[in-house]
Amino acid sequence: MLTLLVAIGSFFGFIVAYHTYGRWLGKKIFELDPKAVVPAEELRDDVDYAPTPRQVIFGHHFTSIAGTGPIVGPAIAVFWGWLPALLWVLLGSIFIGAVHDFGSLVISLRNRGQTVGEIAGRLISKRARLLFLLILFFALTVVLAVFGLVIAYVFSWYPESLVSVWISMPLAVAIGYWGYKKKRDLTLPSIIALAIVYVGIAVGTYYFHPTLPSFYIGSFEMNPVLSWTAILMVYCFVASVLPVWVLLQPRDYINSHQLVVALVLLVSGLLLAAGTGKADLAKSAPAYVPFAEAAATMPPIFPFLFITIACGACSGFHCLVSSGTTSKQIANETDAQYVAYGSMLLEGGLAVLVILCCCAGLGMGLFSKDASGVLVPVVSEVDNSPLVAEAAWRARYFPAEGSFAPLKDGVAAFVDGGANFLTMLGIPLAMGIAIVATLVACFAATTLDTATRLQRYVIQELGSTLNVKPLTNKYAATGVAVGLAFAIACIPGPKGPGSGGLILWPLFGAINQLLAGLAFMVIAFHLWRRNKPIFFVVLPMLFMLLMPALALSWQMFEPSKGWLWKGDYLLFSIGAVIMGLQVWMVIEGLLLWPKAKGVMEQALPPLPVVTEPSASPNC
């Protein structure tokens, strides 16, 4: 019964929030105007700026922000118990994350689709623009390196997902051509594409598992994980330089449909499992894990809960999507609430579902593959009975050998728990595992290609600001983006080539949330200069600046030893640079704040006038 109450109550709360708080923001604070000229029309080039139907741009925006973040974050955070994770997702997504995404999109729409970093240069100072761009550069470098490795690891853990993930690429190109060039309706092609993706899942499950061998380049080993990472970076390069309608939009559109189907299946399975008593949240996992029990394996819940769950509650990466790509494709300003606020609430709903999968779903049983690849139940060492309820959850999150691996075990908990829900619909367990694993891989991939495009914008802006002309070329900028990310991914670690890049995984959450705090600061200045209320922005801003700063300091130093440096050069170097840039930008804001109230920022320069060539008198 508790499982059912949490699921229904959470989704009902999100719907109420959209129609109350979201509507208040849109009408009273941002004053969305259906007649306003949007950047997609004003600067239309059909490459980056292209007016798009709101259901298509919703699919692009949602799948771009909902990568592995709302899956991996909650899947790890339930280590501390399901209740703290649930409360942070519900309150964070409604009052912090959705406001952050909505505000970032609106101010970009009213600044010709400029990124939050560019806007900071006019709202705060030119130095603030450069500081923000540098923070974005480092943050996106970490995102590309880490997400590339994460997807590659998912491919290696669940090779059955490969066929469906890669078959969506040519399908996306075909749909893009059909919708943009032929101006045809996308309903039937989308249904056909979705069916082909699910056929690909079945083929990957039962017939074909493509794998890559290890090989050497000189003395450097290219293992399967690095090989997949290299292939993903090549894909990202291509996707970033192509017009958005060719691959980026239609791929996200397909994935949005896949997500809807997967969510419907998961929710249906959850309702059946909860209704029949097979998935009982109260018996499957503790609501809260005492500090003494968790401390041996994981850092303290405060402040790490708030950076572990980022995308499911609040994520700075979303401001890059809102102001980097989505604002250039919105066809009507009033679509902003639907696209930004609505997408964040739906992402919160996904995070709630992940929490229930990793607790109530996992409690339905734990499985592993035997030597022949057949799925068999994991049994108790005491009486040889299948592990269920809290015993199954503890076997995943508190293994006997104490070797909890947050990334791998968190993803596995969601995949296994979600697959258990799908079995309630008569879907075979192996097929269910493939469906959920494909969901994880596809959404991580959409975040990866969007992040590459955003990094290309950032590098081009930095090239223009610093007068480094080669970096203003989109091909050169994209090459720098994927090349640097792959180089970091290749850093050797304790588990061989590629594992070293995951050293930066702990930094991802902290940097991501610091970025959200800085985006809130830009939104606050936008409202402050227009004499608008700012209380609902300032409190989240302070929270998102302080919590990740504390967590980042904890990762760089050892609190139990007088805050001595931990000795990790890579993590410390990037963390120190990000922290220094953040502090500098906050100081810039504090110096200007008393002088900015009611004073409008410098207007955008007028667009160049394009005149039609006069007709020749001899014609």
Instruction: Encode pLDDT of 456-482 as tens digits.
Output: 988 998 998 888 999 999 999 999 999
How many domains does the chain contain in total? 1
φ, ψ for residue 213, nearest 5 deg: -80, 165
Kind and range of the H or E run holding 562: none
More confident residue, 431 or 492: 431
Residue 444 lies in a domain: yes
Residue 468 lies in a domain: yes
Instruction: Encode pLDDT of 205-258 as tens digits.
Output: 888 777 777 777 777 778 888 898 999 999 989 988 888 778 877 877 777 788
Strands 375-377 and 215-217: unpaired
Q: Which residue shows structure tokens 């007016």? A: 51
- H helices of 424-473, in order, are 429-465
Q: Which two tokens stand for residue 595?
A: 């002088």
Maximum Cα interatomic distance, the chain, rounded to a whole number of Å: 98
What band does 494 get if pLDDT is binned at 50, 70 and 90?
Answer: low
| C-alpha span between 152 and 165 (Å, rounded) | 12
Query: How many degrees, rounded to 5, is the angle at CA 603 between CA 601 and CA 608?
Result: 160
Q: Which residue shows structure tokens 């947050």? A: 406
CB 273 within 8 A of CB 365: no
Instruction: Encode pLDDT of 583-612 as tens digits.
Output: 999 999 999 999 999 999 988 888 876 555
Instruction: Encode pLDDT of 539-597 as tens digits.
Output: 999 999 999 999 888 888 877 666 667 667 777 888 888 889 889 999 999 999 999 99
Residue 97 lies in a domain: yes
CB 420 within 8 A of CB 41: no
| C-alpha span between 4 and 475 (Å, rounded) | 50
Task: Determine the structural domain holding residue 489 and report its residue range.
Answer: 2-596
Q: Which two tokens stand for residue 513?
A: 């949330």
Q: Which residues contact 49 (CB under 8 A, 6 or more apart)?
A: 39, 40, 43, 113, 328, 329
Residue 618 lies in a domain: no
Q: What CATH number is associated with residue 284?
A: 1.20.1730
Q: Which residue shows structure tokens 């050797």? A: 492
Residue 603 lies in a domain: no
Residue 616 lies in a domain: no
Prediction pTM value: 0.89
Instruction: Encode pLDDT of 311-365 as tens digits.
Output: 899 999 899 889 988 999 999 999 999 999 999 999 999 999 999 999 999 999 9
Exposure string (b/e) for 484-503, b if CB count within 10 Å is 16 or more? Answer: bbbebbbbeeeeebbbbbbb
Residue 68 lies in a domain: yes
Q: Say what the pLDDT of residue 7 is.
A: 93
Q: Using H for helix, E for strand and C for coil, what is the string for 406-429? A: HHHHHHHHHHHHHHHHHHCCCCCH
| C-alpha span between 228 and 504 (Å, rounded) | 19
φ, ψ for residue 468, nearest 5 deg: -105, 90
Task: Report the range out of 236-245, 256-265, 429-438 with the highest average pLDDT.
Answer: 429-438
User: Coil, helix or strand for 332?
Assistant: coil
Residue 610 lies in a domain: no
| C-alpha span between 357 and 83 (Å, rounded) | 14
Indicate the DSSP class of residue 367: E
CB 232 within 8 A of CB 240: no
Q: Which two tokens stand for residue 556?
A: 């760089």
User: Coil, helix or strand for 377?
Assistant: strand
